[in-house]
């Protein structure tokens, strides 16, 4: 490698609709009361569990979430539907996720002072894609007029950081001149809005980043990728089982076990120490400590998880300036959370400042990037 690899631009696109905790709880509680009334005999007989009620205060205390963006709000708060009403588009039309991706991509290209001619690889990496093929990345590549190639990646909540790893490696190897990494997180169709413990967790968003050689970067805010680190360890504690094989299994493809579900306490107990070790080892590789890091752009799943991880790393509570929290407004946006935090909180850093992007999620999977402001 003759030149350092940099992140030269980021883009953040918010859907036009948002749902507050209060709105979500009002709809869920009305659904739960209706469910309990309709199934009173079975609940009394003990063959069916009653739906517990929720509260906005419970959600905020459990997660730190106050609201979330939603690609299509219609249908989510309808107690006789409890899922977004997203009209199917004809095959010749731009797909929903490609449209989200293009919004974020254009913002990232503008921030990086780049055009389609400067990019030769497009990676669309997220927790869910709305179809198997053709790849969303190739659809986005075509819509933006980019020459080269594109591909999709699915690594759950570490999809964005893992894709940035691939971009870093391609630029380092000289197999690409400019890589556009996009994370169109359309999570709402996989949310079980009928489940008190998970109906509030996710939000929709799209993020993007441009990765290139330092000698071609011309934007105002450029961050050198010092190094990357990734680890995976199999766990069943976070699952989303929806897939085409359900058709052959002769089961309900939209049953609760096919949507997002998790063993939240187990995830918290197992992922937090795993993330602390991962980050500490990454910094130690460069003879750095947590005190050397100016900004922590951590995965945005749960405020209590972020607080514990940062406290273990720093030996004290992190300030919001050190470790920004965005999940109060965005909720858990799967792989996009740390990229949102970066997009909103990077321009104030000074040349030479270190920052660390880190995601952790299903798999388990953890991906981190140590970066330095140019």
**C-alpha span between 171 and 163 (Å, rounded):** 12
**C-alpha span between 321 and 303 (Å, rounded):** 15
CB of 14 closer than 8 Å to CB of 326: no
**C-alpha span between 265 and 237 (Å, rounded):** 9
Length of the chain: 374
Locate 107 and state its tokens. Answer: 């913002």
Query: What string of pLDDT tens digits covers the 374 residues of the chain?
Result: 457 999 999 999 999 999 999 999 999 999 999 999 999 999 999 999 999 999 999 999 999 999 999 999 999 999 999 999 999 999 999 999 999 999 999 999 999 999 999 999 999 999 999 999 999 999 999 999 999 999 999 999 999 999 999 999 999 999 999 999 999 999 999 999 999 999 999 999 999 999 999 999 999 999 999 999 999 999 999 999 999 999 999 999 999 999 999 999 999 999 999 999 999 999 999 999 999 999 999 999 999 999 999 999 999 999 999 999 999 999 999 999 999 999 999 999 999 999 999 999 999 999 999 999 99
Percent of the chain with pLDDT over 90: 99
Cβ neighbors of 354 (< 8 A, separation 6 or more) are: 226, 288, 292, 293, 294, 295, 370, 371, 372
Q: Write the pLDDT tens digit of every residue in 17-57.
A: 999 999 999 999 999 999 999 999 999 999 999 999 999 99
**C-alpha span between 215 and 346 (Å, rounded):** 21
Q: Using alpha carbons, select from 362, 60, 69, 59 the residue that is nearest to residue 207.
A: 69
**C-alpha span between 346 and 373 (Å, rounded):** 9
Q: Can you give the pLDDT at residue 1? A: 42
Q: Which residues pair with 185 in a beta bridge?
A: 205
Cβ neighbors of 59 (< 8 A, separation 6 or more) are: 21, 24, 25, 65, 200
**C-alpha span between 241 and 255 (Å, rounded):** 9
Which residues are marked as active site? 157
Q: Using alpha carbons, select from 190, 183, 157, 153 the residue that is nearest to residue 365.
A: 157
Q: Write the pLDDT tens digit of every residue in 213-239.
A: 999 999 999 999 999 999 999 999 999
Cα radius of gyration (the chain): 21
Cβ neighbors of 117 (< 8 A, separation 6 or more) are: 147
Q: Is the peptide bond before 134 cis (omega within 30 degrees of 0)?
A: yes
Q: Is the peptide bond before 33 cis (omega within 30 degrees of 0)?
A: no
Q: Using alpha carbons, select from 364, 342, 211, 209 the residue that is nearest to residue 278.
A: 364
Strands 223-232 and 365-373 turn out to be: antiparallel
CA torsion angle 201 203 206 211 (round to 10):
-20
**C-alpha span between 186 and 205 (Å, rounded):** 7
**How many Å is the maximal CA-CA distance in the chain?**
72
Locate 345 and state its tokens. Answer: 């909180």
Query: In which region does residue 111 sit, left (phi positive, over 0), alpha (psi from -120 to 50) or beta (all else)?
Result: alpha
Please tell me whether residue 252 adopts helix, strand or coil conformation. coil
Q: Is the whole model's pTM more than 0.85, yes or no?
A: yes
CB of 363 closer than 8 Å to CB of 275: no
């Amino acid at each position: 490698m003759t030149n350092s690899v940099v992140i030269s631009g980021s883009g953040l696109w918010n859907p036009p609709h948002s749902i507050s905790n209060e709105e979500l709880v009002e709809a869920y509680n009305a659904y739960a009361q209706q469910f309990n009334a309709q199934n009173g005999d079975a609940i009394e007989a003990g063959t069916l569990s009653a739906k517990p009620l929720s509260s906005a205060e419970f959600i905020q205390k459990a997660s730190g979430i106050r609201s979330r963006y939603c690609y299509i709000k219609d249908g989510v708060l309808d107690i006789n539907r409890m899922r977004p009403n997203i009209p199917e588009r004809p095959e010749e039309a731009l797909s929903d996720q490609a449209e989200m991706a293009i919004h974020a991509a254009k913002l990232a290209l503008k921030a990086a002072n780049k055009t389609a001619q400067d990019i030769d690889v497009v990676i669309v990496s997220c927790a869910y894609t709305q179809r198997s093929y053709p790849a969303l990345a190739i659809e986005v590549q075509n819509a933006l007029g980019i020459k080269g190639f594109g591909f999709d990646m699915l690594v759950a909540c570490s999809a964005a950081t893992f894709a940035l790893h691939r971009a870093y490696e391609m630029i380092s190897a000289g197999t690409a001149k400019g890589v556009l990494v996009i994370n169109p997180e359309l999570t709402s169709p996989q949310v079980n809005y009928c489940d008190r413990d998970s109906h509030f967790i996710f939000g929709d968003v799209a993020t993007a980043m441009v990765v290139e050689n330092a000698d071609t970067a011309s934007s105002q805010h450029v961050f050198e990728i010092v190094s990357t680190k990734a680890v995976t360890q199999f766990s069943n504690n976070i699952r989303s089982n929806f897939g085409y094989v359900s058709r052959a299994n002769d089961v309900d493809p939209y049953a609760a076990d096919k949507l997002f579900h998790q063993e939240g306490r187990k995830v918290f107990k197992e992922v937090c120490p795993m993330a602390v070790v991962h980050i500490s080892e990454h910094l130690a590789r460069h003879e750095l400590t947590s005190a050397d890091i100016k900004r922590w752009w951590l995965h945005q799943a749960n405020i209590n998880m972020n607080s514990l991880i940062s406290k273990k790393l720093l030996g004290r509570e992190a300030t919001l300036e050190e470790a920004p929290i965005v999940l109060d407004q965005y909720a858990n946006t799967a792989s996009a959370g740390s990229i949102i935090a970066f997009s909103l909180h990077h321009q104030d850093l000074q040349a030479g400042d270190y920052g660390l992007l880190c995601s952790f999620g299903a798999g388990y999977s953890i991906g981190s990037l140590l970066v330095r402001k140019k």
